Amino acid sequence: MANRHSLTRRQFLRNSALLTGGLALGSVLPRSVWAAGSDTIRVGVIGCGGRGTGAAKNCVDSAPGVEIVALADVFADRLGALKKQFNVPDNRCFVGLDAYKSVLALADVNLVILATPPGFRPIHFAAAVAAGKNVFMEKPVAVCPSGIKMVLEAAQKAAEKKLAVVAGTQRRHQAHYIEAMKRIHDGQIGTLVGAQCYWNQGGLWVKKREPGQSDVEWQLRNWYYFTWLSGDHIVEQHVHNIDVVNWAFNALPDTVHSLGGRQFRTGPEYGHIYDHFGTEFIYPGDVRTLSTCRQIQGADHRVSERIVGTKGVANLDATNASISGEKPWKFEGKETDPYVQEHTDLIASIRSGNPLNEAKTVAESTLCAIMARESAYSMRQFTRNWFMAKCDLNLLPPADLKLTDTKPVAPVPVPGKYQLAGWVSEPPKKKETGKGKGKKK
Amino acid sequence: MSTTTTKTLSAATLLTGAMNRVHAAGSDIIKVGWLGCGGRGKGAIRQCLSADPGIEVIACADLFEHKAMEGREGLLKEPKYKDRVKIKDDHIFHGFDCHEKLAQTECDLIVMATAPAFRGRQMLAALRAPKPKHIFTEKPVATDVAGCRLVLEAAKIAEQKGLAIVAGTQRRHEFSRVELMKRIHAGQIGELVAGQCYWFGSGIWYRADSEGMSELEWQCHNWYHFTWLSGDQIVEQAIHDIDMLNWCFDGPPKKFMAVGGRQCRDYSEQAKQVCRKFNNGSDADWQKYNGNIWDHIFGEMEYPNGARCTAFTGHGPGTNRNGEKIIGTKGASDLHSTITGENPWKYEGPSVNGQEQEHIDMIRSIRAGKPINHGKRIAESTLTAIGLRTAAYTGRTISWDWLLNASKQDLVPPQEKLKPGPGHFEPISTGCDKLI
């Protein structure tokens, strides 16, 4: 199943099954009206795994006049479900590490869904923008600062070309989050003085190495457990919650300090990523916030955000939003499926000629998560300015990567041994003089 | 002393009270028994002697005989203390039961500075002795829930008997922090809504020497590295800062959540050396000698008013962090000497060394016949740190009420099993230990 974690999704569906059902039905009927129209959205899906398959269906359900017309994946076996469901012809199904290029070369494709493992996202996004495609891209959008810089650059180009870019940080499209944020930004909880956000969950899928698999093939199929592909779970998953706090503050943290490790999930099938992180982000004005994320079988779940102001507190999670304090409030409005809504908003923005461009925002939240990961791997506190200026970590896959390549699994990061890219240790402090034994002044 | 306490005064209490009145005259001597003659013990006994000219040390005790002997010798070498060091040969005790022997002496006060695992037993022995003792105890006062309960019991007994319990959380005795806290409690930064505390340092000693020791004795010698002995770093060290937040909120949190692990703590070379010593030259099993404490715990304490506070703790090669911060609706404080916000303030009075002042405050309170009893408070702060550790070790959110009333966590072997012999080893927690 998708790494788009089913817990929240299920909760959502439980709460809004009727609404969603209605929406899906409504969106099916008028599609034929659009099919012949000139503003049909013709979608190419790049990355047809669990999430790509889900996103493609969400996209089709989101508005009339949407068609899935091309598919790309590294592995032929991943294309099957979408190919069958949307009747995509063989000559529009592409396989291999360069398959994305073939989709981007199709002139009739005017929207691409980027849903491969996140390590490839900067390259795919930049290529999609260069090809003039509108983009829906899953979060996170990079795994290293080099990737972030690529995405920020492409974000700028997308704006210049008036291309729409929407990211899979679906909380930004969820009515209860939007309503709560309006109130927070309106000052209803006063000045923000703290926050907490969490993605603590149990275990997750894993794919053991099959006989005959090359290093690269196994790592791609089991991509979650390799930092160059997933960014580690703090980037891959917790970015959602970090993004909400950034949204509430309308700012990015200046400083990060994180602790983390690999305590429970230590088998070789789990690659080299950590299973927990605890992070302090410091926002402008010395506002210190807490974040934790954990993937440990049997441990408690907690996926939520809490924003603390001088006049109240906002509590947010996948299904609810409320404010306590001087101006108490509880969301009681209508909710739609956010995984569909993000596509609805994207397509409406394309058709209206006012394209949304969320690339910078999602790149910034991804950056915060990457900073936290690097801080935990090294146990070092550093500033965002330092990170962007000096950290030259580059995990981008090489252009000549092949499925058959040998790629040893990088060691599990151990603070003290892990080299934080670009970090130069301060010279040891000068020893005080004049206090030594026997020395005369 | 509160009115309720006064009502429960027993005959025994009245007797003790009489003893205190003798001290109150100021001329007489307070006889001290010194328990735990390691590094902190050496500091604490000197700070106690410096606090009042009427202090005399009449006995000392340590697990290791040579440490007790050296403790006395060291004091006798220092001109400012030597005249008040009156430790006779038959008042030097050692062994796992040395606290019991010390409790039988005629001392009035025991300064406790052994590894924290045994504190509850030591306190009860001191309080239940034929001549009950006042207590100065280093922090923390336990390594598990069962130990905290013993200290809570000790606090009650001390109250009934009119005896002092003062703890080595010295920030509570620093003038700047005392003045600061008065203002926070008076609402100068408004309602408390968030806080952080940090104790993240570069590391700790590892004692590989084991000459003449059994395995269990070596473990006690190298106590920091075993959760049952030290409580792990969050309990042993970060308790100082955690206690500051508890002080702000005037009580412990109601809920704990934490993550953590052991990612870089490595003493493999020394651990192998120790392993060979106790295993006929084999170092196959060296990992257990590497210790089972973690190197980082990052936790959240939720206080009764709903405020959630961060605890950032551990040892590692990264950036050192120390200190605290408390945030209210009208301002914030560094919990050291300043308040910012609507009612800014800065402490400008004299500064004192908290580790000396805590003894001065204690001796004064004893002489005044109004002994300070911080037993409950230090047990609560110890249990707070244990709550964070337990949340991290188990991956569970833990409530204060459950921890205090329902947990069966009991890590320290019973007293009768503590004797020179095999060590007591527990595995490193995986982060989802069974909740006990």
| Phi and psi torsions of B419, nearest 5° | -155, 155
Residue B319 has pLDDT above 90, yes or no: no
Query: Is residue A291 within a helix (H) or strand (E), and if so which, with residue range?
Result: strand A287-295
Q: Do B257 and A300 touch (CB under 8 A)?
A: yes
pTM of the predicted structure, to 2 decimals: 0.91
A244 Cβ contact list (under 8 Å, min separation 6) = A171, A177, A197, A305, A316
Q: Band of the pLDDT at B28, cuts 50, 70, 90? A: confident
Q: Which amino acid makes up residue A270?
A: Y
Contact A259 B312 (CB under 8 A): yes
List, in sequence order, every residue forming a beta bridge with A290; answer none if it has no partner. A196, A280
- Does residue B19 belong to the interface with chain A, where contact is any CB pair within 8 Å? no
In the predicted structure, residue A426 carries a pLDDT above the cut 90:
no
Mark which residues 294-333 of B lie under 8 Å from A by CB.
295-300, 306, 308, 310, 312, 314, 316-319, 321, 325, 327, 329-330, 332
Residues 358-377 (B) with a CB less than 8 A from some CB of A: none
Question: CA of B397: which chain A residue's CA is closest?
Answer: A300
Residue A119 phi/psi, 5° resolution?
-55, -30
- For the domain made up of B3-171+357-373, the CATH class stated in words is alpha beta
The whole-number pLDDT of residue B247 equals 97
| Predicted pLDDT at A429 | 60
User: For residues B202 and A41, what is the distance between their CA atoms, to the nearest angstrom?
Assistant: 57
CA distance A229 to A216: 11
Domain boundaries, chain B: 3-171+357-373, 176-350+382-417
In chain A, residues with a C-beta closer than 8 Å to the C-beta of B321 are 257, 381
Query: Does the beta carbon of B430 lie under 8 angstroms from any beta carbon of chain A?
Result: yes
If one counts every other C-beta atom within 10 angstroms of the C-beta of residue A402, the result is 13
Name the strand (E) or helix (H) holding A237: none
Residue A8 has pLDDT above 50, yes or no: no
Contact flag A296-B431 (C-beta cutoff 8 Å): yes
CA of B255 to nearest chain A CA: how many angstroms apart? 14
- Burial readout B398-426 (b: 16 or more C-beta within 10 A, e: otherwise): bbbeebbeebebebbeeeeebeeeebbee
Specify the range with the lowest mean pLDDT, choosing from A313-322, B7-16, B287-296.
Answer: B7-16
Q: Tell me how far apart the alpha carbons of residues B262 and B257 are, in angstroms, rounded to a whole number.
A: 17
The structure tokens 């790309």 sit at A72
Q: How far apart are CA A142 and CA A146, in angstroms?
A: 8
Query: Between chains, do B264 and A264 touch, taking CB under 8 Å as contact?
Result: no
Cis peptide leading into residue B371 (ω within 30°)? no
**Mean pLDDT, range A187-216, rounded to an integer:** 97
Tell me the C-alpha to C-alpha distance, in Å, between residue A99 and each of A45, A47, A171. Answer: 10, 9, 30
Chain B (163-202) residues lying within 8 Å, Cβ to Cβ, of chain A: 190, 193-194, 196, 200
Q: How far apart are the first and last CA of chain A?
A: 74
pLDDT at B388: 98
Provide the chain B residues 200-219 that lie in CB contact (below 8 A) with chain A: 200
A276 touches chain B (CB under 8 A): yes
Q: What backbone phi and psi angles, to 5 degrees, belong to A309? A: -120, 175
pLDDT, tens digit, 9 for 90 and up, residues B42-97: 999 999 999 999 999 999 999 999 999 999 999 999 999 999 999 999 999 999 99
The secondary element (H helix, E strand) that includes residue B30 is strand B30-35
Core vs surface per residue B167-184: b (16+ CB within 10 A) or e: bbbbbbbbebbbebbebb
pLDDT for residue B144 = 98
Q: Are A379 and B264 a contacting pair at CB < 8 A?
A: yes
pLDDT digits (tens, 9 = 90+) for B107-133: 999 999 999 999 999 999 999 999 999
Averaged over B24-35, what is the pLDDT? Answer: 79
Chain B contacts in chain A segment 290-349 (CB below 8 A): 290, 292-294, 296-300, 302, 306, 308, 310-311, 313
pLDDT at B409 > cutoff 70 = yes
Ordered by where they begin, the domains of chain A are 6-171+340-356 (3.40.50.720), 175-334+365-390 (3.30.360.10)
Q: A60 vs A31, A40, A350, CA distance in Å?
A: 9, 11, 15
H or E element, residue A21: helix A6-28
Looking at residues B194-215, what average pLDDT do you find? 95
| Ramachandran assignment for A381, one of left (phi > 0), alpha (psi -120 to 50 degrees), beta (any other) | beta
Q: Are B242 and B385 in contact (CB under 8 A)?
A: yes
Tokens of B365: 């309170």
pLDDT tier, B19 (very low <50, low <70, confident <90, very high otherwise): very low
Interface test with B, best of A199, A234, A241, A263 (most B CBs within 10 A): A263
Collapsed DSSP state (helix, strand, coil) of residue B137: strand
Contact A261 B296 (CB under 8 A): yes
Quickly state the pLDDT bin for B27 (edges 50, 70, 90): low
Pick from A310, A323, A324, A426 the residue to mutate for testing the B interface (most B CBs within 10 Å): A310
Chain B residues lying within 8 Å of A278, measured CB to CB? 258-260, 296-299, 312
Using the Cβ of B390 and the Cβ atoms of chain A, whether some distance falls under 8 Å is answered with no
pLDDT value for A39: 83
CB contact at 8 A, A97 and A403: yes
- Cβ atoms A167, A361 nearer than 8 A: yes
B412 SS3 class: coil
- List the one residue out of A102, A113, A96 whose CA is nearest residue A54: A113
Fill in the amino acid letter for A236: E
Q: Are A299 and B260 an interchain contact pair (Cβ–Cβ within 8 Å)?
A: no
Nearest C-alpha in A relative to B428? A263
CA distance B138 to A396: 53
- Residue B17: per-residue pLDDT: 43
Q: Is A383 on the interface with B (CB under 8 A)?
A: no
- Are A276 and B329 in contact (CB < 8 Å)? no
Average pLDDT, integer, range B210-229: 96
Mean pLDDT, rounded, for B344-362: 94
Interval A271-295 mean pLDDT: 98
| For residues B128-151, average pLDDT | 97
Whether A265 contacts A259, CB under 8 Å = no
Using a CB-CB distance cutoff of 8 angstroms, which residues of chain B are in contact with residue A196?
300, 308
Asked if B262 has any chain A CB less than 8 Å from its own CB, the reply is yes
The encoded tokens of residue A419 equal 């080299």
Question: What span, in angstroms and rounded, lies between the C-alpha atoms of B266 and A40?
Answer: 61
Partnered with residue B134 across adjacent β-strands are B109
Chain segment B222-232, per-residue pLDDT in tens:
999 999 999 99
| Per-position b or e across A24-45, b if 16+ CB within 10 A of its CB | eeebeeebeebeeeeebbbbbb
Task: Compute the Cα dihedral for B30, B31, B34, B35 and give only its sign.
Answer: negative
pLDDT band, residue A425 (cuts 50/70/90):
confident
* Contact between A193 and B193 using a beta-carbon 8 Å cutoff: yes
pLDDT band at A34 (very low <50, low <70, confident <90, very high): very low
What are the tens digits of pLDDT across the range A379-407? Answer: 999 999 999 999 999 999 999 999 999 99
Lowest mean pLDDT among A154-158, B116-120, B208-212, B337-341: B208-212
Residue pair A277/A293 in contact by the 8 Å Cβ criterion? yes
Can you tell me the distance from the alpha carbon of B86 to that of B326, in angstroms, rounded to the nearest whole number?
46
DSSP code per residue over A41-83: EEEEEE--SHHHHHHHHHHHHHSSSEEEEEEEESSGGGTHHHH
Is pLDDT of A280 > 70? yes
CATH code of B176-350+382-417, in short, is 3.30.360.10
State pLDDT tens for residues A303-336.
Answer: 999 999 999 999 999 999 999 999 999 999 999 9
One fold for both B3-171+357-373 and B176-350+382-417?
Answer: no
Inform me whether the pLDDT recorded for A2 exceeds 60: no
Q: In chain B, which residues have their Cβ closer than 8 Å to the Cβ of A198?
A: 257
- State the residue for tokens 């974690």: A5
pLDDT tens for each residue of B156-175: 999 999 999 999 999 999 99
Q: Where are the alpha helices (DSSP H) in A75-174?
A: 80-86, 99-104, 121-130, 145-160
Query: pLDDT tens-digit profile of A107-127?
Result: 999 999 999 999 999 999 999
Give the DSSP H or E segment for B302. strand B296-302
Q: Which two tokens stand for residue A224?
A: 């979650």
Residue A357 is given by DSSP the state: B
The answer to whether residue A202 scores a pLDDT higher than 50 is: yes
